[in-house]
Copies of this chain bind each other. A is one copy, B any other.
Amino acid sequence: MHICILTFDQFNELDSMIALGILNRVKKPDWKVSIACPTQTVTSMNGLTIERQATLEDANKADAVLIGSGMKTRQIVEDETIMSQIQLDPTRQLLGAQCSGTLMLAKLGLLNDIPACTDLTTAPWVEEAGIKVLNQAFYVDGNIATSGGCLASSYLAAWAIARLESLKEAESAIHYVAPVGEKDAYVEQAMKNILLDTRLQK
C-alpha cells in the first residue's frame, strides 16, 4: 500500500507533515507513505527545504494520494508542465485534498459536481472554479475527500487509514498523536468527521 502526499514549493508544513506523521502510525510491512514532489527538493512557505521521497509519477501509481496545500497553489495549477504530470484517478485511487489542495483537485477536473472543503483563503478560488465550498472541516464523496483548516489534515490522514486499513487503526493513530489528557475528545471529534463517509458507517 503506497500513499503519496503531493507537496510543492511554498508548501504549508502542517498540511503535509501532519498527514505524513499520522499515516506512518500504521506499522505494516507493505505500508509506505511518501512526500511526493515535482523536484528533488522543495521549500516550504516558511523557508524549510525538504528532500522528496517520491516523484509525481510515483504518485500517479500510488493507492492513495493526498494533495497538500501551500502559498503557491494558484500559480501551480496554471503551470502546464507540473499539471500535465499529475494523473490521478478516483476509480483506482483514494484521493484527498487539504486546503488549497482542493483547488488543484478542482483544476484537475476531479471534483465535478462534488462540494468540497478548503481553507477560508482558498474558498473564493475554489468557488471560482465552479465548486461549492462547504463550511465544515471534512467532506467525502466516494473515493474523494477534502478538508479545510491545517489541523483538519489529521482527519484526512485518519480517513485514509480507515478506508485502506480499518477504523480501529485510524482511531489508534489519532489517539497516539492527540494531546495527553485530551485523547478521548480528539478521537471522538476525528471519528465524527471521518464517519461522514457512508462507506465507513456500519
Chain A contact residues, CB within 8 Å of chain B: 12-14, 17-18, 20-22, 24, 33, 35, 45-51, 53, 117-120, 135-138, 147-152, 154-155, 176-183, 186, 189, 193
Establish whether residues A18 and B20, one from each chain, have CB atoms under 8 Å apart when the complex forms: no
CB distance from A42 to the nearest CB of B (A): 11
Could you tell me the dominant secondary structure of chain A's interface residues?
mixed
Question: Could you tell me the distance between the alpha carbons of A135 and B181 in the complex, rounded to whole angstroms?
Answer: 6
A180-B151 CB under 8 A given contacts A24-B46, A50-B50: no
Q: Check B21 against A149 for contact (C-beta < 8 Å).
A: no
Q: Do B48 and A35 touch across chains, with their CB atoms under 8 A apart?
A: yes
Q: How many angstroms between the C-alpha atoms of A148 and B45 in the bound complex?
A: 26
- Please state if B46 and A149 are interface contacts (CB–CB under 8 Å): no
Task: Report whether B49 and A50 are in contact in the complex, using a CB–CB cutoff of 8 Å.
Answer: yes
Residue in contact with A48 in the complex, picked from B20, B22, B180, CB distance below 8 Å = B20
B180 with A119: CB separation less than 8 A: yes
Question: Is B179 in contact with A137, judged by CB distance below 8 angstroms?
Answer: yes
Cα A186 to Cα B46 with chains together (Å): 23
Chain B residue nearest to A186 (CB atoms) is B151
